[in-house]
Structure 1
Amino acid sequence: MKIASWNINSVRFRIGIVEQFLEQECPDILCLQETKVENGSFPAAAFHALGYDHVLLNGQRMHHGVAIVSKLPLVEEERNDWQANGEARHLGVRLPNGIRLENVYVPAGGDIPDRALNPKFGQKLDFLARMTDWSDRVRVPTIMVGDFNVAPLECDVWSHKQLLDVVSHTPIEVEALTKLQAAHDWVDLGRRFVPAPTRCFTWWSYRAKDWAASDRGRRLDHMWASPELAANATGHAVHEPCRSWLKPSDHVPLVTEFSF
């Protein structure tokens, strides 16, 4: 089974590269974040045409929204409001084999890493805290994927020293994500297959004139698994070339292969 995850930054605007990716990689399941579309306007027909008959949505306009498209049946939908304000940032399902799949879009958190000066940063920390409480209660084998908007390791950013005060890599965010990971002993599949300190980025800003030449990337997108599932992961790939496709997202897709 191949499970893919991608912050697509508007699924309607970038449906062309989504189709290109699905035709090229043929994952069984694709989890999308930042779909930026209400459920009624989601381009489901494009996915149905490629064999993804099961389309589950938690949509919203603006900068939110998540979706799971699958060739396999999906049941027991769940939508947690970890933002506590109605933003569509989570969609969880059960796969035919009983394993849970959780698709998460953690808020970016604004520009100032200070809860008092920047309410969005506080919301991000509270979101991660609510996820941690939920994670502590997870009792079934689970895969959690998505845009976590935190690059936890020093080697997960192009310059640890220069980004210590930049939202996504601050010590307080790293501490929050570390607590989340510890709450269920989640296995970070990205770093299981690409061990630190090997370079591994999933996001590059649109601001760079040549993103590849400057290579100022961050590893914001993650795939985690319950400890008992880690051995079932047989391969993991970061599809960096997608960053150069027509109308690219600033994120690239991840794909993990499992042996179940």
Structure 2
Amino acid sequence: MRLTVTTWNINSVRLRIESVLRFLREVRPDVLCLQETKCPDELFPLKAFEGTGYENVVYAGQKGYNGVAILSRFPLLTREVMSFCGKPDARHICAALGPEAGQAAGLVLHDFYVPAGGDVPHRELNPKFAHKLDFLAELRAWGGRRVAGPAILVGDLNVAPLEHDVWSHKQLLDVVSHTPVETEALETLRGEAGWIDAARLLTPEPEKIYTWWSYRSPDWAAANKGRRLDHVWVSPDLAGTVRKVEVFRAARGWDKPSDHAPVTLTLEL
């Protein structure tokens, strides 16, 4: 059985609902995990997905900021939300695939939106950066307690951990998302919990992988000054099933785009 799971920071699900629907029509992933939906639960555009085959939806949102959602072709058994740093700020949602998913039944999906961290990479000078580091520390602690079993963790983790996850390692060492304290924190928590970086499993360094290109670049495609902020991790028992991880770069060039591109994982179960 082939299973496809996409992660995408959509940067407002209501503003970019046509892009979401277009992606679902063109790519047809089994599961789409969204971040930064920027939408309170009562205004989530459920009706837009009627008749699309993606009527199985769980979400956690708030007005104007953050927000996560999972859309699935298969029924979802559970909806769980974790809060970090004492803030119920809609940065995580979890669901398990129902029996209709066949060999993928019971597979657990975690969808995360890690704080961006502001512009100044200094804990004492920047409360947003301190929040990010504290969030990563709590995520590390959770990873050590995670229940065993097939699982996928996806999301905008807002860290480009490896040298070739950014356009210039040297120039970005002091830029939030690629500072040593962030990259070490993310790689440590991933390794301790046993998560496998699916993209780098298939495409090791030194090949570049980017999933985000700044709005500030007048010609993002030509400049190609990207970063890999969006990640797909699998539990060790799924490592042998990973067949492809694809960045759908074309979506970054659509009308009124998100600054992130969708990333799709393909498993052969």
TM over 0.5: yes
Q: Deviations over 1:82-119 (max 9, x none)?
A: 24211100000111211211000000001111110001
Aligned mates of 2:120, 2:10 — CA distance in 1: 25
Unaligned runs of 5+ in 1: none
Q: Does 1:239 align with 2:241?
A: no
Q: Residue 133 of structure 1: SS of its match in structure 2?
A: helix
Q: In 1, are the aligned partners of 2:149 and 2:237 still within 8 Å (CA)?
A: no
- What TM-score, normalized to structure 1? 0.98
Aligned mates of 2:31, 2:58 — CA distance in 1: 11
Aligned mates of 1:62, 1:183 — CA distance in 2: 34
Aligned residue in 1 for 2:34: 32
Aligned mates of 1:49, 1:199 — CA distance in 2: 38
**Which segment drifts farther, 91-100 or 217-226?**
91-100
Q: Does 1:223 align with 2:225?
A: no
**Which segment drifts farther, 43-52 or 220-229?**
43-52
Aligned residue in 2 for 1:102: 110
Aligned mates of 2:14, 2:205 — CA distance in 1: 35
Unaligned runs of 5+ in 2: 99-104
Cα offset, 1:135, TM superposition: 0.6
Q: In 1, are the aligned partners of 2:35 and 2:113 still within 8 Å (CA)?
A: yes
Aligned mates of 2:47, 2:200 — CA distance in 1: 35
- Residue from 45, 56, 70 that aligns with 2:47: 45
Equivalent positions of 1:172-211 (< 5 A) are 172-211=181-220
Aligned mates of 1:78, 1:178 — CA distance in 2: 25
Give the paired residue count. 260
Matching residue's letter, 1:225: V
Aligned residue in 1 for 2:132: 124
Cα offset, 1:40, TM superposition: 1.1
- Residue from 157, 164, 177 that aligns with 1:155: 164
Aligned mates of 1:175, 1:183 — CA distance in 2: 12
Cα offset, 1:126, TM superposition: 0.8
Q: Does 1:111 align with 2:119?
A: yes
Q: In 2, are the aligned partners of 1:203 and 1:250 still within 8 Å (CA)?
A: yes
Aligned mates of 2:165, 2:49 — CA distance in 1: 32
Q: In 2, are the aligned partners of 1:47 and 1:69 still within 8 Å (CA)?
A: no
CA RMSD of aligned residues (A): 0.9
Aligned mates of 2:202, 2:41 — CA distance in 1: 35
Aligned residue in 1 for 2:25: 23
Q: Residue 258 of structure 1: SS of its match in structure 2?
A: strand
Matching residue's letter, 2:38: K
Aligned mates of 1:148, 1:255 — CA distance in 2: 15
Aligned mates of 1:36, 1:194 — CA distance in 2: 32
User: Percent identity between the aligned chains?
Assistant: 51
Q: In 2, are the aligned partners of 1:155 and 1:196 still within 8 Å (CA)?
A: yes
Aligned mates of 2:166, 2:85 — CA distance in 1: 26
Q: Residue 172 of structure 1: SS of its match in structure 2?
A: helix
**Which segment drifts farther, 210-219 or 187-196?**
187-196
Matching residue's letter, 1:185: G
**Which segment drifts farther, 150-159 or 71-80?**
71-80
Structure 1 runs, 4 residues or longer, greater than 6 Å off: none
- What TM-score, normalized to structure 2? 0.95
Q: Does 1:249 align with 2:251?
A: no
Cα offset, 1:141, TM superposition: 1.9
Q: In 2, are the aligned partners of 1:38 and 1:61 still within 8 Å (CA)?
A: yes
Aligned mates of 1:83, 1:217 — CA distance in 2: 29
Aligned residue in 1 for 2:102: none
Q: Deviations over 1:54-96 (max 9, x none)?
A: 1101011122100001110112211010242111000001112
Matching residue's letter, 1:238: V
